[in-house]
Structures are given as structure tokens and as C-alpha cells.
């Protein structure tokens, strides 16, 4: 069953929920999940498929974002990303779900 939600509605919901996330009433990953799912519904008419959580290397994370490794490291140092690194022993890893949520949530950030 297809569901129709207009992109304008998704942007409105994001505008309403963002201050709640800024105040800590909603966790940012929750906001990203909500907006990501709503955006996908508005484009495809269905919720995002479930994704198996997986830890990624810095190289994998950079590739998912479409940037070079050195640029990814620079952006991370500047706190440009809402997702955080996970340390596994001495190795740096990132949750694929966090990166996907970041990509989906930032897709419409340039829209008014």
C-alpha cells in the first residue's frame, strides 16, 4: 500500500521537531530517523527498508559520503557530522545507520 506525503509536509515536520531536538526533548538520531523515513515515504510511498547495523572503517564512511579520506578526517575534526566515532579497541569505526540517517536528514537541509 502506497502512502502519499508531500515534501513540503516533511520540511514542515522537520521545522517543528528541530527545536525539540535542540532542547534535548527528542534525541538527534531519533529526529534523523523520523525525517529520513518521512522523506523516503514522500519520494517512494513506503518506509525505508530495515538496515542491518554494521560498523564501518573511516575509508568506508568516507566512501558512503562521497568524499576522500583526508577530507572526511578534516570534516570530522571540524565536527561537521552529527554522527560520532566508535572506538573498537584502538580502531575507529562508525555505525552505518548513523551515516545513512545523516545523509537522508541532510538531503533537504538546503531547502527552505
Q: Domains of the chain: which residue ranges? A: 7-106
Q: Please list the residues that pair with 92 across neighbouring strands.
A: 87
Asked if residue 14 lies in contact with residue 26, where contact means CB atoms within 8 angstroms, the answer is no
> How would you classify the pairing of strands 86-88 and 55-56?
unpaired
At residue 104 the predicted structure's pLDDT band, cuts being 50, 70 and 90, is: confident
The predicted model scores a pTM of: 0.56
Cβ atoms of 110 and 74 within 8 Å: the answer is: no
pLDDT over 70 at 26, yes or no: yes
Residue 110 in this model has a pLDDT that exceeds 80: no
DSSP codes of every residue in 27-75: -HHHHHHHHHHHHHHHHHSSPPPP----EE-HHHHHHHHT--HHHHHHH
Query: What is the model's pLDDT at position 32?
Result: 87
Amino acid at each position: 500500500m502506497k502512502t502519499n506525503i508531500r515534501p513540503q509536509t516533511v520540511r514542515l515536520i522537520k521545522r517543528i521537531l528541530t527545536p525539540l531536538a535542540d532542547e534535548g526533548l527528542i534525541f538527534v538520531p531519533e529526529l534523523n530517523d523520523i525525517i529520513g523515513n518521512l522523506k523516503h515515504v514522500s519520494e517512494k510511498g513506503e518506509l525505508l527498508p530495515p538496515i542491518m547495523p554494521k560498523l564501518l572503517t573511516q575509508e568506508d564512511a568516507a566512501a558512503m559520503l562521497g568524499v576522500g579520506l583526508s577530507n572526511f578526517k578534516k570534516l570530522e575534526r571540524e565536527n561537521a557530522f552529527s554522527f560520532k566515532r566508535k572506538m573498537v579497541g584502538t580502531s575507529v569505526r562508525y555505525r552505518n545507520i548513523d551515516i545513512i540517517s545523516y545523509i537522508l536528514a541532510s538531503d533537504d537541509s538546503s531547502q527552505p
